[in-house]
Each structure stands twice: as C-alpha cells, then as structure tokens.
Chain A
Amino acid sequence: MLARAAGRILQTLAVLLIVSIASFSLLKLAPGDPVVLMLGTEFSQDSYDDLQAQLGLDQPVVIQYVRWLGDFATGNWGNSYVAKTDIFDFVVKEALPVTLTLTACAIILAIVIGVPLGVMSAVRKDTFWDAGIAALALTGTAFPSFFLGIVLIWFFAVKVGFFPVMGFVPPWEDFWQGMLHLVLPSFTLATFFIGMIVRVTRAAMVEVLDQPYITAAIARGEPRRRVIWVHAFRNILMPLVTVIGLQLGAILQGAVLTETVFSLPGLGQMLTGAVLGREYVLVQAGVMLTATLFILVNLAVDLSYPFLDPRLRAR
C-alpha cells in the first residue's frame, strides 16, 4: 500500500511539473507581447523596458521558466504590476479563502441534497419519484450557472429580499452574515454538481442493491434503513468520492462565473480581472495554483481509496 502511495505521489509531482511547463508555455504562446498588453495603448519605451526587466522577460526562456518555478515553489510570486501588492498575499491570503469557502459550501450543499436524492431514486427505481428526481438532476446539470445566479438574485435578493445580492463577509468574522452571503452563490455553484451526484449515487446504489449480500441482509431481517445507509451506502463511497474529486475542476471553473455574478472577491474574479487587465504574472500564479489544487485533490482521492475499501489495503 505504501509503495503504491509513494508511486502515486511521484506521479503527481511529474504531472505538476508538466502542468507548470504547460501554464508557463501557454502564456508564452498566447498572442501578443505581454508587456504591451499590460501597458495598454499608451506607453513610453522607458516604461516598456522597465516592465520587461521587472518581469524578467529580457532573459532566455529556460532561465525565465526555472526562475519562475523556483519563485512559485518558494511563495515568492512577485508584485502585481497594476495593484502593486504582493501576489502571494493577494492570492493565498485574500482570494483563495473566499473561493475555498464558496467551494466547500457548494460541495457540502451538493452532498447534502444530492446523495439522499440519489439514494431515494435508486431505492424507488422505476417509480414516479425516480423519474422526477432524474428530471430534476438533468435540469440542474443543464442550467447555466451565470443564468441561474441572476434568476436567484432577482427572486431571492430583489423580490423577496431574503439574501444579499452580492459581496462576501468572512463567516469566521461574522458567521450568520457570512452564511447569508454564501447561500445564493453556493446554491448556484452546487446546482450542476447536485445533478452529477444524484446520477452517480443512483447508478452505484442500483448496482449495490442488486448484490447478494444486500439480499442476505434483507433476508436476515435487518431494518431497511440500516440495509441502505450502512451496508449499501458504504459501498458506493468510492465512486462518490471519485466523482467529487474529479468534479473539483468543474467547480473551480464554475466559481469563476459565480464569483463574477455575485461579486465575490475570490480566485475566479481575480483571474478574470487579471486576464482582462493583462496581468501576466497574476494569471500565471492563479492558473498554477488552481491546477495544483486540482491535482492535489485528485491525489487525496486516490490515497483515500484504501481507507474506503479495505480490500485495497492488502494489495
């Protein structure tokens, strides 16, 4: 088991290296001189030379890459050209906590709503409930999050006035205000995910419920609730955790739109602003950080398998 884990960690490091080359190269290959793009239409040769030197873009590409990777790994991400603030502080201390809070709330909401619906759908297979839940799941998956966000804002924030339209209050500073600000964006972000979880839970559960040990448990006269939530549910955890891990990328992607619609100062909004403001260094840091997060979550998912399925511990 340990050898497998070590191998998986090495594999992750290799992937991270490839991702770092890709995100470094992608911005190199993107059309336009980053210095010109950052300076806009009005600039002097002096400011061009200054910025080029400041970004290290006058150095050979390999040196630029090695220096950039080293700086990234040690948390020395430089200063934002526009905001003049430390990028590490801005990204990791300000933007990341917002996105992680939003993402965590969305995942919890998706699990709390999606798993019971999926289980219910499987247990009542081929009934009206099953069809209804399937339709709901499909609608949730198909609804574009930016549109849903605006609809939710207009109904729950403007018409009914239950929730704030926008902004972020850290829940660790004011829990209730923070939660009120997070309800609509979390639900918007969770909608796609809920549909996905319902479908995966249902499929896995249907398969498990057909297994002989479930029939045996029922035959033993164990209560129905125990059969479903203890015997069957334990065995669908693996596909469920896998899908949650794999969907993190989609969630981070959705966070970009959700943060923009609800004006939350997270990674998504920061990245959008950086791309529009042509903040080359900030875009690189943001892309690398989100890719790293995604890869690390997948590693964590992989490493969690032996804990979810004892049979894997023996291998």
Chain B
Amino acid sequence: MQDHKDILARHVAARLGRRTILKGMGAGMIAATTGGAFPAMAQAAQSGHIKIGEIKPIDTLDPHFTFRLGAVQIISNICNGLLKVVYDGTTVTFEPDLAATWDLEDEKTHAFTLHPGVMFHDGTPCDAEAIKFNLMRVKSGTPASPHAWKLEKLEEVEIIDPLTFKLHFSEPYAFLPVALTGSIGRAGTIVSPAAVEKYGEDFGRNPVGTGPFKFVSWKENDSIELVANTEYFEAGLPKLEKVSFMIIDEPSTALAALISGQIDGMNDCPMQLIEQVKKMPNLNVYGGVEGNYTYVGMNTQKPPFDDVNLRRAVAFAIDRDAVLKQAYFGLAKQAYTPISPPMSGFYDPDIAQSGRGQFYDLEKAKEFRAKAANQDEIEVTYIMTENPPAGTRVAQIVAPMLAEIGIKVKLELLENAAWTQRLQDRDFEMLDFFWTADLDPDETLYPEFKTDGSWNYWGWSNADFDRLCAEAQVILDVAARSKLYNEAEDLMVDEAPVAMLAHFPLYKIFSNKVQGFNYVPCDLLNLNTVSLA
C-alpha cells in the first residue's frame, strides 16, 4: 500500500518549498478562523493610472480559448487560477491562489479548499460550483477548448461543500500544477459562470474574473482598460487604481512613448533594443531566459533527413556561439536539450560540461556526415519567415555552416501564414522555429516529439521515448520524473529530429516610477503588486 502522507510531503515540498507550505497552512488557519471576514481585510486604497505598451497580439480575453501569451498577460490581471506561478529569483514554484489549501489525498485525488468570501467582479460567488463549471468548460465544453487535453485525465469534480471540492483523476497527473495555474496553464483559470452564460461567445470581449483588476473596455487597435477590484481577496492589493494597455504594433514607437513619459511600461521589448534601453537611466529592464527553446527542425519523413546520420551531422555542425551572438545579440543561452533553466528540478545545471545534449563539434559533424548514405553534395530547401524572436537571422547564419558538411541550403522566404501551412503539412525539409513551454517537461517534450504528437512536425518516432514520457506523466516525484525525462531527451537529441539552438530571454521595461513589479520567468505581467511613485 502506498504511503500517501509521504507522497504528499515529497510532492508538495518539491512543488512549493517549506516556507510556502507553512504560509499555505497559515492562510488555511486564518481562513478557517476568520470565515467570510478575509476579503474585507483585503481592501486597500488604490491610486495611480499605469499605461503599458501592449506589443504582443491579443486574440481573446477568454482564458480557456486564448492562443496568445499577450492575452494571458492581461487575463492574469483580471482572473485568478486555482494555483499561481511564483518565482523567488532562482526557483519557480506553483502555489495556491484561489485555493487556500491544496491537499493530495492519494495520487489520484486532489482536495482543495477555497478562500472564503471571494466574489467575481459581477458580484457572484467564487465557490466550488464555479470551479466545477470552469474545469468542465475546459474539459468538455462546446465549443471545445484548445486546452481540453490538460484535463483529459480528470474524471470527476466532487463538491463537498461550497468551499471544498476534490478532483478525481484516472491516474496520477504530474502536469496538473501547471495546468491549474491561472496564467500559463490556462485550464485552471477561473471565470464567472454567470458572465459566461450572459455573454456567450462574446465573453472573450467581456471577461469577468476574481482578479486584482476588473475589465472595463477594449477599444480595437487602441487600448484595453482595467480598474482596481477594491474587493480583491489578497490583503493590501492591488495598489494601482487603473491600468491601460495601449495597443502598439511597433516596439520602437512604444519605446519612444515610454521615454517621453506617455506610457509607463512595455510588456515586451525586442532583444535588439535592450542594450540601448539598459543605458537609459530612467528605465528598468526586467527579464531573463524563460521556459522556451529554439531549434532547426528537419523533416525526418522524407529524404534527405530521413537519414539519422545526416541529422546528427547537422546538429553538431551549427556553431551555437555564432548563432547566439548574431541572431540573439548575445542575450540568449545555449540550449543543449529542450528543458530550459527555469524548469527547476528538471534542468541539468551541469549540461554545458556533461557531454549530454547537442553542441558544436565540427569534427563530430564530419564523422556523422561520412556515415550518411548520400555522400554527394546535398541540396535542401530551408523555409524561413519573420517568426519571433530572431526573424530570418537564424536561417541566414546557419546556411553557410551547413555548407561545411556538404549541405547546400536554399533559403525560401515565406509569408507567415504560408510558412505555418507548410509546417503543418510537413511540406518542408528544414526550418527554424521556437517553442514557448509551460515550465513542465511534459508539455515541453511530449506533444512535440512523441509518435504522431500534435506538434511533432518532424514526423520523428521512437517507441522508447514515447514510453519514458508516458511513464513520467504519471509520476509525481520530481527526481524520478526528471530521470525519465533526461533519458527521453537523450534519445531525442541523439536521433536529432531538431538541432537545438537557444533558450531566449523575454524583457519587460518600466519607467523608474513603477515600483514593486515581481518578475516571473514565464512571460507574465502581473500588476497586482505594482505601484506608481
């Protein structure tokens, strides 16, 4: 029989850290003793109107349907999740948000208690029924949510009382903490059921959550306005009275507006502007390498890259130093495997010296090239488009490197939609791309590389890789999972459907009037703690 207490202790300790557990218990005790009084304590005087240059595109403010991280940045200020992502400067953890307590009864049953008295912005209560409505909306709602797969293993939401509920899963689900966050995971973002019913398909233009700010208006191509939620359940927050996201397509215009004081911050700043910004005394830069990776992908289903030795040759022929300097302005970090540094517990800190992963070694590349079936000069088509973060720079830098091993690259520049279609149709030989990951290796590795995975554009297949990832999905212990993922990624990088390049940084800029911003390395722009001097 399993020792559930032990599993819980190890799982929660790995996820939350000791201090957070104590804090969570404390919050639970306060919640239990104060009952409905908790939100009343939270009320604070708000002041200041912050204007943020919104550079990233926004599709919808409905968290269960958005594809865009620009939208997630705004939604996170309107809605809470059951859990939230917290960063202490070195480690990322997933902590309770709307949930006051989170308990693991057994490996397949998660018990939650909600903060009492929390209301949605429309005045309806955020209770267990609302949570059930939200989770079922993602899992099996109509139209289908693109995040439904994150709750595939959810069998039942059992409501115990208005503040307590249990989630029953068909098997242990290691990705759950990420899925239940109100930000990157999106499946655990909680919105008002009454508002969903009221607005129907238009909910994405009229979002209602429990978050620190209430949605006011969305003027197309102009701005999105939020005001403080004065009944917010976290004590003393938010500090600002009003938030405007000014929609700006051109980053240099946003930077000019920031310097001239017309806006107070930018939600994204291209790498090419960062050195210039760092020299400006009135601006502060927040950011670093996040959960992502860039790569050169190869179509393993047709010649010439159906030859594993040719792919290996490509993986070792790319001089990453040159790519980092020229394509990423020296700001990115070399990627040896897909798992990036902020994925605490899974990232191998010794990877640069360990010999694991892919790196530049021209001799090795030539050895593999010599083993390739086709020893003639090989001509390949490399499709490129203006994808972030490096546009077409990577393709142009990599092409002459591949000439060193007898691969003549023909660059084909495509409009973004045409490029996407070619990718989806697997109508390419070579391309470069990036993946923004949800800070968990399950989502970082499995759908991208498993046999017939929805994002496995390379057509690569390895039964052992599939097995290792599937096993890791149902193990909650971080160390044991990490071992399986390391084995899986070793198989993947060895057979090289892609040649890993970089983990890249994302930047937010604020004027020095802006204080109290907590940077989290998953492209969030949480303004709940922010104030204006």
Partner of B148, one of A44, A260, A261, A265: A44
The smallest C-beta distance from A260 to any residue of chain B, in angstroms, reads: 5
Any B CB within 8 A of the CB of A56: no
Chain B residues with CB below 8 A from A32, complex form? 417-418, 420-421
Q: Are B148 and A157 in contact (CB under 8 A)?
A: no
Any B CB within 8 A of the CB of A128: no
Chain A interface mostly helix, strand, loop or mixed?
A: loop
Any B CB within 8 A of the CB of A60: no
Chain A residues with CB below 8 A from B420, complex form? 32, 36-37, 40-41
Partner of A37, one of B148, B222, B249, B421: B421
Any B CB within 8 A of the CB of A203: no
Q: Are B146 and A47 in contact (CB under 8 A)?
A: yes
Chain A residues with CB below 8 A from B19, complex form? none
How far is A262 from B421 in the complex, measured between Cα atoms in Å?
31
How far is A260 from B250 in the complex, measured between Cα atoms in Å?
6
Q: Are B417 and A278 in contact (CB under 8 A)?
A: yes
Partner of A269, one of B148, B221, B254, B424: B221
Any A CB within 8 A of the CB of B252: yes
Q: Are A166 and B262 in contact (CB under 8 A)?
A: yes
Q: A47-B143, A95-B221, A261-B250 are in contact. Are A157 and B256 (CB under 8 A)?
A: yes
Q: Which B residue sits closest to A280, measured CB to CB?
A: B417
Any A CB within 8 A of the CB of B204: yes
Q: Are B220 and A161 in contact (CB under 8 A)?
A: no
Chain B 398-430 interface 0/1 with A at a Cβ cutoff of 8 Å (1 = within) = 000000000000000001111011111000000
Q: Are B67 and A42 in contact (CB under 8 A)?
A: yes
Q: Are B253 and A43 in contact (CB under 8 A)?
A: no
Chain A 137-178 interface 0/1 with B at a Cβ cutoff of 8 Å (1 = within) = 000000000000010011001100100111110000000000
Q: Are A46 and B143 in contact (CB under 8 A)?
A: yes
Chain A residues with CB below 8 A from B256, complex form? 150, 153-154, 157-158, 165-166
Q: Are B67 and A263 in contact (CB under 8 A)?
A: no
Chain B residues with CB below 8 A from A44, complex form? 144, 146, 148
Q: A42-B146, A265-B221 are in contact. Are A165 and B59 (CB under 8 A)?
A: no
Chain B 167-196 interface 0/1 with A at a Cβ cutoff of 8 Å (1 = within) = 000000000000000000000000000000
A-B contact count (CB 8 A): 119
How far is A277 from B57 in the complex, measured between Cα atoms in Å?
8
Any B CB within 8 A of the CB of A302: no
Q: Which A residue sits closest to B223, measured CB to CB?
A: A167
Interface window among A9-17, A77-85, A189-197:
A77-85
Chain B residues with a Cβ closer than 8 Å to the other chain, count:
41
The smallest C-beta distance from A81 to any residue of chain B, in angstroms, reads: 9
Q: A37-B417, A41-B455, A276-B57 are in contact. Are A94 and B146 (CB under 8 A)?
A: no
Chain A 78-102 interface 0/1 with B at a Cβ cutoff of 8 Å (1 = within) = 0000111100001000110000000
Partner of B417, one of A30, A47, A161, A273: A30
Any A CB within 8 A of the CB of B259: yes
How far is A265 from B429 in the complex, measured between Cα atoms in Å?
39
Interface size class of A (residues with CB under 8 A): 35 or more
Chain B residues with CB below 8 A from A153, complex form? 252-253, 256
Any B CB within 8 A of the CB of A52: no
The smallest C-beta distance from B305 to any residue of chain A, in angstroms, reads: 21
Any B CB within 8 A of the CB of A228: no
The smallest C-beta distance from B449 to any residue of chain A, in angstroms, reads: 15
Partner of B143, one of A50, A161, A166: A50
How far is A40 from B67 in the complex, measured between Cα atoms in Å?
8
Q: A42-B146, A158-B259 are in contact. Are A260 and B249 (CB under 8 A)?
A: yes
Spell out B's residues near A (CB within 8 Å).
57, 59-60, 67, 142-144, 146, 148, 201-202, 204-205, 219-222, 246-250, 252-254, 256-257, 259-260, 262, 415-418, 420-424, 454-455
New A-B pairs, 11, CB < 8 Å, besides A31-B418, A166-B257, A272-B249: A30-B417, A36-B424, A37-B421, A47-B146, A50-B143, A85-B205, A165-B253, A263-B250, A265-B221, A269-B221, A278-B417
Q: Give 4 nearest A-B pairs by CB, closest first.
A: A32-B421, A265-B221, A31-B418, A165-B257
Spell out A's residues near B (CB within 8 Å).
30-33, 36-37, 40-44, 46-47, 50, 82-85, 90, 94-95, 150, 153-154, 157-158, 161, 164-168, 260-263, 265-266, 269-270, 272-273, 275-278
The contact sample of 12 A-B pairs, CB cut-off 8 A, is A31-B422, A32-B421, A46-B142, A83-B60, A85-B205, A90-B220, A157-B260, A158-B260, A165-B253, A165-B260, A166-B248, A265-B219
